[in-house]
Amino acid sequence: MSRDNSPSPKRRRLENHCASEVNDNRCDTMEPQEIDEGLYSRQLYVLGHEAMRRMGTSSVLICGMKGLGVELAKNVVLAGVRSVTIYDPEDVKLSHLSSQFFFRAEDVGKNCAEVSKHRLAELNSYVRVSVLEGKLTTEAVKQFNVVVLTDSDLDTQKEIGDFCHKHNICFLVASTRGLSGQIFCDFGENFRIVDATGEQPISVLISHISCEEKSVVTCSDETRHNLDNALEDVYVTFSEVEGMTEVNGREFKMAGIGPFTFSIGDTSSFGQYVKGGIVTEVKKPKVISFKSFSDSLAEPELLVSDFAKWDRPGQLHVAYQALHQYVKEVGQLPRPYNKDDAARFIAIATSINGVAKSKVELDEQLLRKVAYVASGDVSPMQAVIGSITAQEVIKACSAKFQPIKQWFYFDAFEALPEESSELTAEAVTPTGSRYDAQVAVFGHDVQKKIEKLRWFIVGAGALGCELLKNMAMMGVGSSPEGAVYVTDMDTIEKSNLNRQFLFRPWHIQKPKSTTAVAAAMEMNPALHGVAHQNRVCADTEETYNDTFFESLDGVANALDNVDARLYMDRRCIYYNKPLLESGTLGTKGNVQVILPHITESYGSSQDPPEKSIPICTLKNFPNAIEHTLQWARDAFEGIFVQPGDYVTHYLTDPKFIERTLKIQGMQPLEILTQLKRALVDVKPKSFEDCVKWARQLFQDYYYNTIAQLLYNFPPDHMTSNNHPFWSGPKRCPKPVEFDVKNHTHVDFIMASSVLFAQTYGIKVPKARHELQSYVEEVVSQVTVAPFVPQTGVTIHTTDSEAQAAMSGAADQDDIERIVNTLPKPGELNGFKMNPLEFEKDDDTNYHMDFIVATSNLRAANYSIPPADKHKSKLIAGKIIPAIATTTSMVVGLVCLEMYKVIQGHKKLSSYKNAFINLALPLFGFSEPIAAPKNKYNDVQWTLWDRFDVKGIKPDGTEMTLEEFIAYFKTHHGLEISMLSHDVAIIYSFFMQADKVQQRMKMPLSEVVNQAGKKKTPSYVRSVVLEICCTNSSDEDVDTPYVKYTFR
């Protein structure tokens, strides 16, 4: 029997998919399900609609509602299964508050499951959350598709696990013990995986297929196919191949030959290849088999979490069995740092290993650590194990991604003190505090340090929410001296609710930072949270100044863009502050630890830049939907953003034309042409004018431009090398005739005319549901001029030609003629234009309607398969796929590293950078890279070093430029040949002598102001100076920068 808490929102009917599709379980009686794309948008890009539909039919039982269980349940509820039932017969204790973020002090004494139920239900109104009453029996678990045990004994795990295996119910076990964790998965003997990796199928253009017994397929333009897979067979299919048409639509098993070639076997009976073709990877479902819990316990299959500790899983497998046996014999876990308890535990582990089928070599030091901290409970470890387990539950429900087979162990014993001396039992004695379970691991002294910390979280999105949750549980900034600062300039949107778990529907449109801090302070009222709504950049350095940064103990980035990350990286280097960097992309996550004077910085290495689309491909020769979507985004900017910006500047800035004419190349002509079009050529007076304009735009885009391209390069056009022009990546287009009965055609006219009207402040006369018939009526009466090809039109076929044309000088007569036709700003009193700001997540604003129609019509020109709105939004909106499990797991790893930073660990080997892919699953850990060393004279230095020069002399006056140069010669044996600040040169050996002589006698800060032509703000106490130097041998040497303090 269970009690539920299930709001019943309106739902759009979708086809139901029985859970038997996933694991052959019986199909419960199911209500019609909806996928709320507004809520699940980012997760849909990770899992896909089919996987989400399968999840929507799944019922999950989670046993245990302490820190681990609630982390797991939180992520499963956010993911959107049909129902989550929770079970925990125990009552809340104060020590549970060390990691159970839904417990409050006033909940002590209440049932754990009942307290958790309502707060879990708030996370997702589409998921029914209920409490299982009575005892946990095999009969009780029959109704569920997935059963997860946390906080359970070994006998229960065997009983429930073996029952689930027999009845084909997916079964998982998750446990944590201090600084280690365990996961077990059994999804039955015939678990079908629809997609093991979640990656998009690889698709590559080809240039040739040989006609022979051992065929060779060659990729176009030396493009790597990336189809090799050493672990399993790869299948491919072909399309649009001319000549050897037998391969189209047929599957082949491929065999790699080289990076640009592969074989599909015997093609000798096929026709001769002529041209064209696309090869696409075929993703095939696969079936895997799991052993039962009892069988796997005896003969475990272990997934390695850290190859630097490859022998740990086997030892921890024995250790966890020993902990169960210890509790059975003693009635409790080993006491913290109790040597007698540890010795008894080691003896039990040795005994279990002695009779095991697969014996392992035990490390007593490791086992002692397990025993010492087994009774501890730290929030970051619950976050790591709970999130990974939640992802395995999602795999069980969705049949998406490769499950863990079958045991996974993880530990972070490097977070314990580096020195060999152990904590004493007195150092971890409980005091009746909410932090007692964390003190059991690290001791009272570390806990006091944690509470006094002053930390800066940059970003209050998904990562920021998880950081705040963990820090609140840890007690960061909870003493009078401590604080946690959070800044984020964004407000909460519906799509955030799926993974930014501190937010609820009633928080939409409220500031992220203030809402997140308030929620974290509810979790731990002692937390001193300070919320800001600022962007971190040069403009906010008055707020985030020397005083602010110097007061910090560290920074945690929770950002979603590289520029902001690099900026914070530079600030942390300047102020010598540790930086914990992390990021996610779907099921992939990474963690980087950046430590002053120990590691390299975030900016020391960067990912290669994103591959850009060549200009000519975009303008004339698209061959993929990504190209047409980018073209549509450019069209949006060129029609609805830039003209409005130019007109606004023209009307408000008297020198706009003068400044525009000073720009080099063709840009002045382009700007003025857009200005003239907006103010003269296409300026509408009514919405009907907007519809007529949109119809002409359709004609220009999809008929006239394509017809002109084919006039210049007919379908049978040959290159100078006598090869077909329309071959390889160049797809021969065809014009599209407007058809009022075609929905995409009408969608384009509707979206274009509405957006065009908005830029001119013209009211749309009809509501959205009535607009289509009105537009169809108006557009049917529009007559467009027939296409007449133009001679002498140059169409660039290479990027070098296009760039050369853009860099050329504009015709001054053309510019002058346009300027003379522009109405004077004074003649346009009261007129204004409204540049639009692209917003992908508002389904009512016509922005994505325009993008989808514009892109798909161009795709129709070039016979490219169209994309629906969901896929178009991902590509055109540059959406980062995201899922709550990855975020919470990554932040758990970040906070485990934070424990090391707090304690001042110095060994590089103590820290762990991480790269995780929960889909595969793949766990990669490595030492951070040491900061590279440089040298001048006999002095070694790294990016963390600098010259700290105090500019104020004992008499209170500031040193002059002359004295500054002399200081370096005297104290460092360096002759300064050039000195600069920002982009301004302050001094150089080639500077005019009179200017040098004048500046030499000036205080250095005044020279900085003079050279930079701006006054240093009053809140700035020091400036960064770059120096070029020679040593005593007159050799150029690399040196650190200078921090010059003058206030």
Would you please indicate which residues are annotated as catalytic (active-site) residues? 616
**How many CB atoms neighbour CB 176 within 10 A?**
27
CA distances from 853 to 620, 751, 849, 904, 1024 (A): 18, 8, 6, 57, 51
Which tokens sit at 1010? 């003079």
Q: What are phi and psi of 599, to 5 degrees?
A: -110, 170
Q: What are phi and psi of 922, to 5 degrees?
A: -130, 130
The C-alpha atoms of residue 61 and residue 143 are separated, in whole angstroms, by 9
Angle at 932 between CA 929 and CA 935, to 5 degrees: 165
Contact 411, 181 (CB under 8 A): yes
Contact 793, 705 (CB under 8 A): no
Angle at 420 between CA 416 and CA 425, to 5 degrees: 65
The C-alpha atoms of residue 623 and residue 625 are separated, in whole angstroms, by 7
CA distances from 598 to 306, 551, 557, 577, 914 (A): 22, 21, 19, 12, 17
CA distances from 1044 to 128, 543, 804, 986 (A): 61, 20, 45, 13
Q: Which residues pair with 511 in a beta bridge?
A: 491
DSSP single-letter state for residue 412: -
Q: Which residues pair with 925 in a beta bridge?
A: 914
* Residue spans of beta strands (DSSP E) within 51-202: 59-63, 83-87, 128-132, 146-150, 170-177, 180-186, 191-193
**How many CB atoms neighbour CB 760 within 10 A?**
22
b/e map of 738-748 (b: 16 or more CB within 10 Å)?
beeeeebbbbb
Q: How many angstroms from the chain centroid is the CA of residue 241?
A: 37
Contact 942, 934 (CB under 8 A): yes
The C-alpha atoms of residue 515 and residue 8 are separated, in whole angstroms, by 26
Contact 747, 853 (CB under 8 A): yes
DSSP single-letter state for residue 544: S
Which tokens sit at 924? 């990669």
DSSP string for 866-928: P--HHHHHHHHTT---B-HHHHHHHHHHHHHHHHHHHHT---GGG--EEEEETTTTEEEEEPP
The C-alpha atoms of residue 241 and residue 483 are separated, in whole angstroms, by 64
Closest CA to 244 of 265, 266, 271, 219: 271
The C-alpha atoms of residue 350 and residue 326 are separated, in whole angstroms, by 12
SS3 call for 277:
coil
